[in-house]
Amino acid sequence: MSGAAHDTDEAWQRSVRAQFPIIVAHPELAYLDSAATSQKPRAVLDAVQTYLTTCNANAGRGAYPWANRTTELIERARHRVKEFLGDPEPDRSAVHFTAGTTEGLRVVAHDWLMEYLADGDEILVPFADHRANLDPWLETRSRLAARGVTVHVRALPYQEASGDYDHRALASAVGPRTRFVAATHVHHVYGGDMNVHRLRAAVGPHVPICLDAAQSAGHLPLRVGDPALDVDFVVFSGHKAFALPGTGAVWARNTRGPVLRPAGWQGTPNTVGVVSLLAALDWLDTVGVARVGAHVTALATRLTDRLRRLDAYEILGCPASLASDTALPPAQRRQGIVTFRHRSIPSDDLGFILFSHGFMVRADSLCQAGADDKDGSVRVSPQVYNTAEEVDRLLTVLTDLA
Ligand code: PLP
């Protein structure tokens, strides 16, 4: 990178960082837990404040301007999610707002998959991703079993060498009764891009695919009109992408299987959360999702490149995706998450030690399906507001602890 380009990137990052009041207020702390939840830019905080102080009302339930304005904002947000995903058929698809990815995946499972599956069908789901992307599918199997409908749940095969799904094994795991696949876009522990662009070829044109985009929305441009992302559901958490906590969405393409219709009376939506999501997506467009993702990945690479030289640490995930000098094409590279263990300091202790130096990181079993506390690790997940200097300070502490 030329010096000028580097300066421009630094100036850009400084100006973006300055938009996060909580970050600016705490220069002594480094928030490195953004895979859990992101901090919020001024634009989102202002949108929330403006909404609550000018037109807070219930949506779709009033013949007065505040209620109408609220309804309009929610519809705009729905449209905005479709735009954000590059939806080629917005008149056909649907967006349902949820409290996050966990609730979103459960909506797909309970309100769509239940209706779609028949006795003897098979589904393929990930057994080593976030438990939010396993529990709902197992619950569906149990609920159908209670009705006398047997559904077989098979594991989406992994390949150790590349750290993503085993697309060759997948081809043989898919049978005539395979009716649904659930996958993850970016792994929340290993940070690996799961190469979901290969899924469609492996499962054929008719099997619906549900994508957990919790760790990719806001990091990678998501274009569902692109054949590489020919999935039927995209589920993500707004709060990991700069919106308020308790926000998220399910986008449903609605071209394979029944139309998704969330069951039951929906009640009052999280209007202010939806307003924050609208503002967050607008803000992300302004700064550029690809640029955010590139910055975050560069920080993760900076951390990984030096950490892997310290024998005291074991970095989790695919070794081939770790180095900045890897020959792997970008799609197979690690995104902005680095998870590791110290070989002799327990991970929860390491988390406390790091906080005593001002670093906020995640230190537990990371909600990975099948993992328990003894599988604890430390996860560093930077965001656009983090700096190379913070990563270097963290590396100094980790080197001392080595
Ligand atoms: N899926 C993945 C890959 C995640 O990383 C997370 C959260 O960390 C979730 C699902 C659950 O998201 P939420 O807690 O917003 O429901």
Report whether residue 188 contacts ligand 1, using a CB cutoff of 6 Å: yes
Query: CB of 101 closer than 6 A to ligand 1?
Result: yes
Positive or negative: CA dihedral 243, 219, 338, 24: negative
> How many angstroms separate the CA atoms of 139 and 208, rounded?
19
**Contact indicator for 251, 243 with CB cutoff of 8 Å:** no
The SS3 assignment for 19 reads: coil
Query: Closest ligand 1 atom, CA of 99?
Result: 16
Distance 63 CA to ligand 1 centre (A): 38
Q: Between the CA of residue 170 and those of 179, 183, 220, what are the distances in Å?
A: 14, 12, 24
Q: Give phi and psi for 260, each to the nearest 5.
A: -70, 125
Residue from 33, 98, 102 to probe ligand 1 pocket by mutation (most atoms less than 8 Å from CB)? 102
To test ligand 1's pocket by mutation, which of 367, 377, 381 has the most ligand atoms within 8 angstroms of CB?
Answer: 367
Q: What is the CATH number of domain 3-40+288-401?
A: 3.90.1150.10
Q: Does residue 100's CB lie within 6 angstroms of at least one atom of ligand 1?
A: yes
What separation in angstroms does the CA of 344 have from each of 53, 314, 347, 348, 378? 52, 11, 9, 12, 13
Q: Is the CB of 132 under 6 A from ligand 1?
A: yes
Looking at residue 328, its pLDDT comes to 63
214 pLDDT band (50/70/90 cuts)? very high
Short-list 103, 154, 102, 156, CA closest to 128? 156
Cα distance between residue 184 and residue 192, in whole Å: 10
Q: Which stretch, 34-38, 189-193, 362-366, has highest mean pLDDT?
A: 34-38
Q: Which of 52, 94, 78 is nearest to 281 (CA)?
A: 78
Q: What ligand 1 atom has the least distance to the C-alpha of 237? A: 15
Residue whose token pair is 């009716």: 179
What tokens were used for 347? 């991970």
| 18 has a pLDDT exceeding 70 | yes
- The maximal CA–CA distance of the chain, rounded, in angstroms, is 67
**Distance, CA 125 to ligand 1 centroid (Å)?**
16
37 closest CA partner among 217, 210, 192, 212: 217
Residues 6 or more apart whose Cβ sits within 8 Å of residue 25: none
State if residue 33 touches ligand 1 by the CB under 6 angstroms criterion.
no
Output the six-digit token pair for 23. 């970050």
pLDDT digits (tens, 9 = 90+) for 235-256: 999 999 999 999 999 999 999 9
Q: Which of 26-35, 106-115, 159-168, 337-346 has the lowest mean pLDDT?
A: 159-168
Average pLDDT over residues 305-319: 91
Structure confidence at residue 59 (pLDDT):
87
Averaged pLDDT for residues 87-96: 97
Question: In this model, does residue 332 exceed pLDDT 60?
Answer: no
Ligand 1 lined by 216 (C-beta under 6 Å)? no
Q: CATH topology of 3-40+288-401 equal to that of 47-286?
A: no
Residue 68 has pLDDT above 70, yes or no: yes
Q: Is there a contact between 342 and 312 (Cβ–Cβ < 8 Å)?
A: yes
Query: DSSP string spanning 74-131?
Result: HHHHHHHHHHHTT-S-TTT-EEEEESSHHHHHHHHIIIIIHHH--TT-EEEE-SSSBG
Range from 44-53, 158-167, 205-214, 286-295 carrying the lowest mean pLDDT: 158-167
Please report, in angstroms and rounded to a whole number, the separation of the first and last CA atoms in the chain: 31
Residue 99, pLDDT above cutoff 80: yes
Tell me, using a 6 A CB cutoff, whether residue 87 lines ligand 1: no
Q: Tell me the pLDDT band of 1, cut-offs 50, 70 and 90.
A: very low
Which sequence spans correspond to the domains of the chain?
A: 3-40+288-401, 47-286
User: Which pLDDT score, from 0 to 100, does residue 326 have?
Assistant: 64
Is the minimum distance from the CB of 38 to ligand 1 under 6 angstroms? no
* Architecture, CATH, for domain 47-286: 3-Layer(aba) Sandwich (3.40)
Q: Which residue, among 138, 115, 143, has the nearest Cα to 125 in the 3D structure?
A: 138
131 CA → ligand 1 middle, Å: 8
Q: 368 is written with which tokens?
A: 């990975």
CA gap 160, 162 in Å, rounded: 6
Whether pLDDT at 7 is above 80: no
Q: What is the pTM of this model?
A: 0.95
Reading phi first (left if > 0) and then psi (alpha if -120 to 50, else beta), residue 246 is in: left
